[in-house]
Amino acid sequence: MAGTEEEARYSRQLYVLGGGARRLPGSAVLVSGLRGTGAQVATALVLAGTGRVVLHDCDAACTADRTHQFLLGESDLGQNRAKASQRALAELNPSVVVEAHSGKLSEAFLASFQVVVLTESPLEEQLRVGDFCHAQGICFIVADTKGLAGQLFCDFGEHFAVDDPAEGDPVSAVVQHISQGNPGVVTCMGTENFQDGDLVTFSDVQGMTELNSQEPVPVHVLDTSRLEISDTSSFSPYRCGGLVSRVQEPEECSHEPLCQALEKPKIQLANPEDLSRTRSLHAAFRALHAFRRERGCLPRPRAAADAERVLELARSLGAQQGPLDEDIVRAFASVSAGDLCPVAAVVGALAAQEVLKAITRKFQPLNQWLYFDALECLALPGAAELTEMDCAPRGSRYDGQIAVFGANFQEKLGHQKYLVVGAGAIGCELLKNFAMMGLAAGPDGELIITDMDTVALSNLHRQLLYRSADISEPKSVVAAAAVQRMNPDVRVTPHQNQVGPATEMLYRDNFFRHLDGVASALDTIEARTYLERRCLRCHTPLLDSGTEGTRGNVLAMVPSLTDPLRPASTPRDGTFPLCTLRHFPRTIQHTLQWARDEFEGLFQLPAEQVNQFMEDQDFLKQQLPRKVLEQVWDSLRERPRDWQDCVRWARRRWQSCYHDAITQLLHIYPPEHETSPGVAFWAGDRSCPHPLTFDPDNDTHLDYVLAAAHLFAQVHRVPPCRDRAAIQAILHGVLLPPFAPQEGLQIPLTEEPAEEAQVSTDHRQLTQLTQDLVQRRQELVGDEEAQSPLMEPIHFEKDNDVHIDFITAASNLRAENYGISPANWLTSKRIAGRIVPAIITTTAAVAGLACLEVYKLVWGCQDLSCYRNSNISLSACLLLRVQPPSASTYWYRGREWSCWDRLEMQGVGADGQVVTVQEVLDWLQRTHSWTVTMLLCGDDILYDSKADAEKRAQDQARRLSEISRDAKKLQQQDLELLYICEGEDAEAEDTGPPLLCSLP
């Protein structure tokens, strides 16, 4: 049956956190410091469903907080930050208790929390609270951001148990054979993810069933397909089936208290080359605390004397840690008074993930320090010349940003024209950051959001711009309104369109060329690849962001500088042979895909065919396969009159799938069948099934009938009923004739052939079937009660509970047929719905990293070394940022070209007419001295020198506005032409830069 409302809301997060997520509602967390970093931590915890989140801050909100504190509104200025933030956070998730505290952090107060997070705290308070938490077994986290750098520290005590350190499903492999021996040898499909000493368990093994109930056993990896296990010589002979799965054992970690870890820091590194840099940042943060104690304030922005004083203090603190990178310390100190929303987003998200680790005991916690910086931003051309005056406070909400980049840069941000494609999880975080940054907040700026989706319940745990009241509303419209509440100056426009081939009339080349940048927040490889091609064509900067679980990445595509993006794809759903799905499933993935196919074949395709038959008078003239006509006839013949008919239909379908089809298969291939003498048919990859007997008191049987009947009723517009007792009463009255297997039926043992064997057609029967269909259509057209369209096709929707009810029950019944372990409702939803696990922490961190690249694009940076591609893994608390690859080049006709190069010509001649093909050929000859032998537009050949003279003359005279059979090619305004020049091979891979012809 359907999951709870909590599962529906948190399903994507549950796939990341696993069973440990059940601890969240009973947990209590203190977040001290409600500026930007604290706001990010608290928001992530509230969205994630943490039971009680207490906010602590002693200070009042000021105008400058609004550079990075997205929870505050204009009316909150002057009020306590914690109390003002509490009101906004309470709206995010009604199931979370959000409280505010503005008093001292006493030991009695701290003792009530499982996790304490300090942000923006003096070092003295960090040490005091850290010592208490360590002594009391309270997980303690410090998160701090200063300008372009951030610091994270974790102390989870000396004996912290991690129940589930790994991410994703347990490593497993399908068993093909197990030998009887000492040791036994398991042959399986792939051992790459197993290691010597791994403990494994077995399930669904047929024959050698002793393994299914055995305690975990260690393995020795022999090669890519064989594992050695313990003694199996006394076990029953292996027959078929089975899954071998690695057991993830709990691990323990030990942390030192802050007072010790401060002096001998263990610093997490994604790249060992960063050790000196991170040690210097460790010293710089300590020196900053000392400077603040000494002066009572942070260093003034770009004040050289203040930066030098921080460096002096760092020298005295960092000698025992190794060489000090003085340039890093100076750069850090010079902008440490700054506050940047993207930096707070990254560090706050990392800290929030550590809180979730502490509560759920899922994933290894940070050991113990992590430093993050984007100080490469200070290498932007001209940034080093900024003065104290350029970065001095203006009394503006952007003062924290001005402290880093100067007042002139803030004006540039306001002039930007940006497109955000997708207003889902990453899109929401990008838009929040953009609002804080003031992107498009000037009089000629524009921020365009486009998303064709509506808000759903499952969005609310990670998409912070939406509330329960917004469910079913257009995402882009709701998001735009939220952006304007955060920053009324941002000029934001919502669109409800997909950016793709179908909308090229709206988003033409000129549209893309007038943008300063595009931020991609899409969730499919196809959509991301399309957007990359459009931006490449129009020389528009693109930032591509993606996440899966705790992993995420940001790729920057900068015209003329970087290589074009090629978003990596990892298949999330396998493609299985039809014979495996239909007759020989081995895993729950097979039965779930079979259930998906059943759904489409029962509730979508038949309805579409019937509606087409009713609406298209020429439907029967299309020489359709007899099978299609029979399906239409069966759909019309089976039309239910009432709900009881729907239940009876579902009962018959159950019998057909789980009893009759299996009985027929065993009639053809009995359990004792042999492929050759002594070689069992049901062995290895083939598990011998058994038919099921229907029981109306069996929950899974009843779940199937209820879901199938509900969907069948919806297809035929019959009011459904959810009364299980009433359905059971109907089922007790259903009598079905005994099944008689067919003789001579053939079942393929390998992949289905491309074309099914031709079945001799009885033309007399086909003619009769066609006549019956014509008559039935006339009857239905004349029926006043018949609706148009006659049936309602149902497309599978992963967030529809009834759809998942059907998939889960249908799959688990088939799994029972074949002795496969069933999957619960939530797992079935993830696999069948091909759902990408997602969590707010990853999306927030990825969006923050993307916005750091926006700063560089707005600056107009043409230095590749300033840009970064980023990869994160929050489960391992790793963050790797590297320079993007430079634009690739190639040689063509004696010179080097960049992948960004293209030829451009006006498509309108001096006479105001669209140019002809001959004029294009002349232009290439005149401009580049290239004699073209073939000119193409997509698949259309516009000119071929090998054609006969008459054909060549016709082609040469044609205007570009007349040549395309595909009108979409003209929708972009620029026609992209390819060419082959004299002396080139038409089959060669080397081609010249594309030619863009601008049409009116």
pLDDT in tens, 440-480: 999 999 999 999 999 999 899 999 999 999 999 999 999 99
Q: CB atoms < 10 A from the CB of 75, how many?
A: 9
- CA distance to 35, 344, 390, 403, 870, per residue, from 410 (Å): 21, 18, 11, 10, 25
Q: How many CB atoms lie within 10 A of CB 810?
A: 30
**Confidence band (pLDDT; 50, 70, 90) for 627?**
confident
pLDDT for res 568: 52
Sheet containing 149-155: give its strands across.
97-101, 52-56, 28-32, 115-119, 139-146, 149-155, 369-373
Residue 834 phi, psi dihedral angles, 5° rounding: 50, 45
What's the average model confidence in pLDDT over 206-225? 90
Question: Average pLDDT in the 913-922 region?
Answer: 92
Q: What number is the average pLDDT over the span 289-308? A: 96
- pLDDT value for 757: 41
pLDDT at 572: 43
- Tell which wins on pLDDT, 634 or 903: 903
Instruction: Provide the pLDDT for residue 248.
Output: 83
Burial class (CB in 10 A: 0-12, 13-18, 19+), 98: buried
Give the pairing type, strands 932-937 and 52-56: unpaired
Report how far residue 275's alpha carbon sits from residue 271's, in angstroms, rounded to the nearest whole number: 8
759, pLDDT greater than 80: no
Instruction: Answer yes or no: are the C-beta atoms of 667 and 673 closer than 8 Å.
Output: no
Higher pLDDT, 5 or 42: 42
Range of weakest confidence among 65-69, 446-450, 752-756, 902-906: 752-756
Q: What is the pTM of this model?
A: 0.88
Active site residue 133: no
Q: Determine the 3-state secondary structure of 290 from DSSP.
A: helix
Q: Read off the pLDDT band of 567 (50, 70, 90).
A: low
- Looking at residue 101, what is its pLDDT? 96
CA nearest neighbour of 798 among 5, 4, 8:
8
Identify which of 793, 805, 791, 789 has the alpha carbon closest to the alpha carbon of residue 603.
Answer: 793
**In percent, how much of the chain has pLDDT > 90?**
71
CA distance 345 to 480: 20
CB-count burial class (<10 Å; 0-12, 13-18, 19+) for 789: middle
pLDDT at 755: 42
Q: How confident is the model at residue 762 (pLDDT cuts 50, 70, 90)?
A: low
Q: CA 944, CA 953: separation in Å to the nearest integer?
A: 10
Q: Is the peptide bond before 368 cis (omega within 30 degrees of 0)?
A: yes
- pLDDT band for 573, please (50, 70, 90 cuts): very low
Query: What one-letter code names the amino acid at 859?
Result: W
Averaged pLDDT score across all residues of the chain: 90
**CB environment 469-480: b (16+ within 10 A), e (fewer):** ebeeebbbbbbb
pLDDT at site 989? 60
| CA dist., res. 152 & res. 148, Å (int) | 14
Residue 700: name the closest of 798, 598, 811 by CA: 811
DSSP-assigned beta bridge partners for residue 557 = 542
Three-state secondary-structure class, residue 208 = coil
Rg (CA), the chain: 33
Query: Is the model's pLDDT at 758 over the cut of 90?
Result: no
Only one residue has tokens 């401009």, namely 927
| Confidence at residue 763, expressed as pLDDT on a 0 to 100 scale | 72
**Element (H or E) spanning 31, and its range?**
strand 28-32
Question: Cα separations (Å) of 609 from 103, 602, 615, 786, 869?
Answer: 69, 11, 10, 17, 48
Mean pLDDT, residues 603-613: 89
**8 Å CB contact between 173 and 190:** yes
Distance, in Å, from the CA atom of 241 to the CA atom of 682, rounded to the nearest integer, reads 9
DSSP class of 100: E
Q: For the chain, what percent of residues have pLDDT higher than 70? A: 94
**In the predicted model, what is the mean pLDDT of residues 272-290?**
94
Structure tokens at 519: 């931020």
Task: Out of 259, 579, 646, 877, pick the active-site residue.
Answer: 579
Helix (H) or strand (E) holding 881: strand 878-882
User: How far is Cα 831 from Cα 895, in angstroms, rounded to an integer?
Assistant: 51
Q: Report yes or no: 858 and 412 within 8 Å, Cβ to Cβ.
A: yes
**Residue 646 φ/ψ, nearest 5 degrees:** -65, -40
Question: Which of these ranges, 429-443, 769-783, 915-929, has the smallest mean pLDDT?
Answer: 769-783
Which of these, 404, 151, 142, lies nearest to 299 by C-alpha position? 404
Residue 592 has pLDDT above 80, yes or no: yes
What one-character-per-residue DSSP string does 671-736 give? TT-EEETTEESSSBT----------TTSHHHHHHHHHHHHHHHHHTT------HHHHHHHHHT---
The rounded distance, in Å, linking the Cα atoms of 352 and 350 is: 6
What secondary structure letter does DSSP report for 660? I
User: What is the mean pLDDT of the segment spanning 782-808?
Assistant: 85
Tell me: pLDDT of 766 over 50.
yes
Under the banding of pLDDT at 50, 70 and 90, the label for residue 967 is very low
- Tens-digit pLDDT profile for residues 972-985: 467 889 999 988 87
In the predicted model, what is the mean pLDDT of residues 148-173? 91
pLDDT tens digits, one per residue of 372-417: 999 999 999 989 899 999 999 999 999 999 999 999 999 999 999 9
Distance CA 768, CA 761 (A): 12
What was the pLDDT predicted at 932?
93
